[in-house]
Every structure is written in structure tokens, then in C-alpha cells.
Amino acid sequence: MVKLVTTVALVLVSFVATAQSQFEKGMGSALKLWGEGKNTEAIAQFERIASVEKTNWLPNYYIAAINTFQAFGEKDKTKMKTLLEAAQKAQDKINTLAPENAEVLVMQAMIHTAWIVYDPMTNGQKLYQDVLFLYGKAEKIAPENPRVVFNKADFEKGGAEYFGGDTAPMCEKIKASINLFANFKPETPLHPNWGLERAKQEAEGCK
């Protein structure tokens, strides 16, 4: 009986280790595809992983991220709308899985920001305060997270520029975020670790 229990335990450990390895391998492959600019293939890979790893927020996080980042650079309004709807669909899942996660809050704020860019007159008034709330909540949870610090400051800087306000305080925070990026250690190699290059670009624009 002891031998049987031991054998079953070893099989379970082996299964868990194999499953974890498969998850890491799949995520690594999807991230590599994204890094190569193969967004469609990367999203398909993340979707396959998400269909299996139903309680893990990371696959849908990256689906939301890819669609959101692509939307910011999309000039065609119809395509931008489609991208943002796809981003929000994935985001809705991670909002449920990890509602108090600072990375998740930042991504939701970015989706809202992209909707403001899509239609400033309609969505600016509707979503501006929501974005500030999300960044404020994320800041309370993870005040040293560089994506929280940078994206909050960058959004506030955009608002100050629009209304003719002083951008110096936001620029100081953007510059400070660069040091936070340099010292940031993601929970695992698969967790979010993006944003440094964009922070550097925005810091240059502050000069």
C-alpha cells in the first residue's frame, strides 16, 4: 500500500512538473512569436494556452496586451475598434481572475486610454476618471511597479498637455520610472516586464 501511494505520488509530481513545463514552453513560444511581430500567431497560441490554463491570468493578459498595443498604432478606426473589443474580451477574463493585480489594472487602464484615443469627444468624458481611478488603485497595490508609475504619469501628462497644465511633475515621475524598470524583478520570466523603452522615449520628450 505504501509503495502504491508512493508510486501515485511520484506520478502526480511528474505530471505536475510536465504540465508546468508545457505551460512554460507554450508561453515562451507565444512570447517569442509576439517579439517577432507575429501577432496573429502569438494570440492563437495564447488562446490555446488559456483554454487549458483557465485559472491563470497570464495568457489572456498577453492577448489583451497585444491587441491594445496594436490598437494604439492603428489608423483605421474600424480595425482599431475590432482590436479593442478583442482586448476587452480577454481583459474581462483577467479582471475576474485577478481583480487586485496591479498589472491587470494597468492593462484595463490602457484599454480605456485607447478608447479615448479612438473617440476623444465621446470617450474622454466617459472614461477619463475611470483611468485615473484604475491607476490610483494600482499605485496603492504596487507603488514601485514601473508600469504603474510610468503609465500613470504618462496618462496624467497627456491630460496636462491637453488642458494646458504643467507637465513637469509627470516628467519627473516618468524619469523616475526608468530606475524602477532597471531594478524590477518579475515574479517569473513569463510575467510582465515591458515598458522600459517607451519610458525612455517619453523621458526624452520631456527635455
Domains of the chain: 19-119 (1.25.40.10), 144-207 (no CATH)
Residues whose CB falls within 8 Å of the CB of residue 100, separated by 6 or more in sequence, listed in order: 141
Grid cell locating 157 = 501628462
Joined together, the cell numbers standing for residue 18 give 510536465
Report the pLDDT value the prediction gives residue 162, as an integer from 0 to 100.
85
Segment holding 171, helix H or strand E: helix 168-183
Position 21 scores a pLDDT of 79
Going 31 to 33 to 39 to 41, the CA torsion angle's sign is negative
Residue from 137, 129, 128, 71 nearest 106 by CA: 137
Spatial separation of the C-alpha atoms in residues 139 and 9, rounded to whole Å? 42
- Distance of alpha carbon 84 from alpha carbon 135, whole angstroms: 19
**Are 115 and 84 a contacting pair, CB within 8 Å?**
yes
Low-confidence ranges of the chain (pLDDT < 70): 1-20, 207
C-alpha cell at 6: 508512493
Nearest residue to 66 (alpha-carbon basis) of 54, 84, 78: 84
Angle in degrees, CA 66, 37, 108, rounded to 5: 10
Q: Which of 139, 142, 199 is nearest to 175 (CA)?
A: 199
> Scanning the structure block, which residue is given the C-alpha cell 526608468?
178
93 Cβ neighbours under 8 A, 6+ residues apart: 50, 57, 60
Supply 22's cell numbers.
Answer: 508545457
What is the residue-wise DSSP string for 69-83? Answer: HHHHT---HHHHHHH
Look at residue 49 in the predicted model and tell me its pLDDT: 97
| pTM for the structure as a whole | 0.89
